[in-house]
Amino acid sequence: MQNTIREVIESRTSVGKYQADYQLEAGCIEELVRLANLSPSAYNLQNWRFIAVQSNDGKQALQQAAYGQPQIMQASVTFIVCGLTQGQTFIKETLALSVEKNVMPAEVATAWEDAVEQSHASNEELQRDEAIRSASLAAMTMMLAAKGMGLDSGAMGGFDGQQVSQTFQLADNEIPVMLITIGRAQKDNWSQKIRKPVSEVLSFA
């Protein structure tokens, strides 16, 4: 990555028209997911999964589930960013990775496992909130990573979640939170849209 984070944030736009013949360089998909996977999540649950839709058949099926939005066929890849519920069932395995490398004491991992069991197990609303929070953060990280790698991206929430879940065989605890198209933008995309002034969106307490 050559750009500073500020340049990346300032220059990212939501792309709707891609160069259809542009193919990602080898290793790009893994690198995008490696970086998105560094996003934070509550209790380090890492309650996300990414499906890279790159094949023609996959793109056609996804486009159909996304109400025909054309950018899915044009983009080099569209990621289905899934958020995972039922964190209490996999937190032990996830935290073990940090315990094994001495990044986290085993007692802390146990305490976090207990906390997630208590707070999540009987609270489906919280599980869904956490899945959406984590997947959204990962999606944003991925878009910034893409920009830093010289690529363009677009977030999409316009899709039929049930259709995506069925077509791409998501597990019962996987929610399709967002689609992220990635590729090279055509020249005639919109510029970044104008944001409200900071004075309107910031307050102090």
Ligand X SMILES: Cc1cc2nc3c(=O)[nH]c(=O)nc-3n(C[C@H](O)[C@H](O)[C@H](O)COP(=O)(O)O)c2cc1C
Q: Interface with ligand X by CB under 6 A: which residues?
A: 13-14, 16, 69, 154-158, 178, 192-193
- Which residue number, 194 or 202, has a Cβ lying nearer to ligand X? 194
Q: At its nearest, how many Å lie between ligand X and the CB of residue 74?
A: 12
Q: At its nearest, how many Å lie between ligand X and the CB of residue 13?
A: 4
- 42 class by beta-carbon count within 10 Å (0-12 exposed, 13-18 middle, 19+ buried): middle
Read out DSSP for 27-59? THHHHHHHHHTTS--GGG---EEEEEE-SHHHH
Q: Select the residue whose beta carbon is closest to ligand X and give its number.
A: 158
- Which residue number, 166 or 192, has a Cβ lying nearer to ligand X? 192
- Which residue number, 95 or 156, has a Cβ lying nearer to ligand X? 156
CB 176 within 8 A of CB 164: yes
In this structure, what token pair is assigned to residue 31? 């690198």
Q: At its nearest, how many Å lie between ligand X and the CB of residue 109?
A: 33
Q: At its nearest, how many Å lie between ligand X and the CB of residue 102?
A: 38
In this structure, what token pair is assigned to residue 6? 């500020």
- Which residue number, 116 or 175, has a Cβ lying nearer to ligand X? 175
Q: Which residue has the tokens 């590729």?
A: 183
